[in-house]
């Protein structure tokens, strides 16, 4: 993996340990898992998943783990999934500035441009898509649902202003 023009420096000792994992029996993989994770491996982990988990942790300790912001996002997603009865995750969508959102409402087409800090519509800048959806419809709407960025959870398509 490279970052800019610099290649990631590898540690020969780490690489040798990773190479040895392929030949380790399951019992030794489980022992190494316990050493690295300070807990017993899940019973469902077979040899392949044990090797992958151990290899990931070895590399993480040697070369560093995920950036803190990414780890926080993953933690939030896991917490949100655990709180839902169906355990489904909804990943946040990131819309790049310059993108155009198009929605037809009551036979008229509306275009919104995504800005670095908000949304442009009808010559004005808005903080949220919900403000624009409300302006268009005259009732309160969830903006991301109105513009098709999020699935509707009700029959009314996300309208909260009945």
pLDDT in tens, 4-47: 444 568 899 999 999 999 999 999 999 999 999 999 999 999 99
49: CB partners within 8 A, 6+ apart: none
3: CB partners within 8 A, 6+ apart: none
3-state secondary structure 43-66: CCCCHHHHHHHHHHHHHHHHHCCC
39: nearest Cα among 28, 52, 30: 30
With 0.75 as the threshold, say if the pTM is over it. Answer: no
């Amino acid at each position: 993996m490279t970052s800019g023009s610099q290649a990631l420096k590898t540690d020969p000792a780490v690489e040798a340990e990773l190479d040895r994992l392929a030949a380790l029996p399951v019992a030794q993989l489980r022992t190494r898992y316990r050493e690295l994770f300070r807990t017993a491996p899940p019973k469902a982990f077979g040899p392949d998943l044990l090797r992958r988990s151990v290899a990931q942790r070895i590399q993480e300790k040697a070369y560093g783990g995920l950036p803190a912001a990414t780890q926080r996002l993953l933690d939030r997603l896991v917490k949100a999934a655990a709180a839902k009865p169906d355990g489904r995750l909804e990943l946040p969508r990131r819309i790049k500035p310059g993108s155009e959102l198009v929605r037809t409402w009551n036979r008229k087409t509306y275009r919104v441009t995504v800005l670095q800090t908000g949304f442009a519509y009808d010559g004005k800048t808005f903080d949220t898509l919900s403000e624009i959806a409300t302006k268009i419809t005259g009732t309160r709407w969830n903006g991301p649902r109105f513009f098709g960025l999020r699935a509707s959870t009700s029959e009314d398509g996300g309208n909260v202003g009945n």
